[in-house]
């Protein structure tokens, strides 16, 4: 990413297969929005998608994704992921206007049961090994607030990949990254009702997810391409999950 006057994400669409994969992902997600239960509002299906996304996101971090049949959630990762999911809709205006503030809030919600040091909650890590984190977060914020006209799938994948790479807070970073990606899907118009559940693909294909994220982190064109193609596959899987939710809702 760069801060020049040209769109920093435009070259990504020229990588082999990315434009086609992006369109296929968009078509799959848009089709879900045209299903009957979603045309009638979609609040129930979006709520179910949100819970499934939160459970899968926690599972990726090694937590038990099952919600107890009785009693409260005691796993701190799952509890944090569910808190994040519940707050996403209310955080959308902040994400559009001041994404770094939204990220800070996401971290407070995700990590409050994971650390006894409340002073670090919502604060990007500093010190050794954190060089460049603040600058890259600022560039990411610029993309979210309008520095790119890239399609939603591309912007979402970049938000997700950058946050996984940066590990900006040092705890609950994966949960925060996937939640931010859901915000990007909605805010970009890619998935305006937040119906898709790509987290299911990340969870089921955990090893592939980590490999693709590592490839993105390497920063090579081929590595970025690998991540973008994997992300688009996950969006299509997430659309199939959303279709199943809509069909069950009747």
Tell me what the mean pLDDT of segment 102-115 comes to.
Answer: 96
pTM, rounded to two decimals: 0.95
Task: Indicate whether 206 pLDDT > 80.
Answer: yes
Tell me what the mean pLDDT of segment 79-95 comes to.
Answer: 98
pLDDT one-digit tens code per residue, 22-60: 999 999 999 999 999 999 888 999 999 999 999 999 999
Structural domains in the chain, sorted by start: 10-249 (1.10.3290.10)
The predicted pLDDT at position 128 comes to: 60
**At which residue do the structure tokens 């809709």 appear?**
89
The predicted pLDDT at position 168 comes to: 96
pLDDT band, very low/low/confident/very high, at 133 (cuts 50, 70, 90): very high
Lowest mean pLDDT among 36-45, 47-56, 145-154, 191-200: 36-45
Task: Write out the chain in H/E/C secondary structure.
Answer: CCCCCCCCCHHHHHCCCHHHHHHHHHHHHHHHHCCHHHHCCCHHHHHHHHHHHHHHHHHHCCCCCCCCCCCCCCCHHHHHHHHHHHHHHHHHHHHHHCHHHHHHHHHHHHHCCCCCCHHHCCCCCCCCCCCCHHHHHHHHHHHHHHHCCCCHHHHHHHHHHHHHHHCCCCCCHHHHHHHHHHHHHHHCCCCCCCCCCCHHHHHHCHHHHHHHHHHHHHCCHHHHHHHHHHHHHHHHHHHHHHHHHHHHHC
The predicted pLDDT at position 132 comes to: 87
């Amino acid at each position: 990413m760069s801060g020049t006057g040209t769109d920093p994400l435009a070259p990504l669409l020229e990588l082999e297969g990315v434009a086609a994969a992006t369109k296929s992902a968009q078509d799959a997600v848009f089709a879900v929005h045209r299903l009957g239960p979603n045309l009638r509002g979609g609040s129930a299906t979006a709520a179910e998608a949100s819970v499934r996304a939160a459970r899968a996101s926690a599972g990726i971090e090694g937590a038990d994704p099952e919600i107890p049949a009785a009693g409260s959630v005691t796993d701190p990762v799952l509890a944090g992921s569910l808190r994040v999911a519940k707050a996403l809709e209310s955080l959308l205006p902040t994400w559009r206007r001041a994404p770094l503030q939204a990220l800070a809030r996401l971290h407070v919600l995700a990590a409050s049961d994971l650390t006894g040091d409340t002073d670090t909650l919502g604060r990007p890590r500093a010190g050794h090994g954190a060089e460049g984190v603040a600058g890259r977060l600022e560039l990411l914020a610029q993309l979210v607030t309008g520095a790119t006209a890239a399609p939603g799938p591309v912007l979402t994948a970049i938000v997700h990949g950058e946050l996984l790479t940066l590990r900006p807070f040092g705890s609950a970073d994966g949960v925060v990254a996937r939640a931010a990606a859901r915000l990007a899907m909605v805010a970009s118009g890619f998935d305006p009702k937040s119906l898709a559940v790509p987290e299911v693909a990340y969870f089921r294909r955990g090893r592939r997810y980590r490999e693709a994220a590592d490839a993105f982190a390497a920063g090579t064109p081929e590595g970025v391409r690998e991540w973008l193609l994997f992300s688009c596959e996950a969006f299509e899987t997430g659309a199939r999950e959303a279709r199943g939710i809509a069909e069950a809702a009747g």
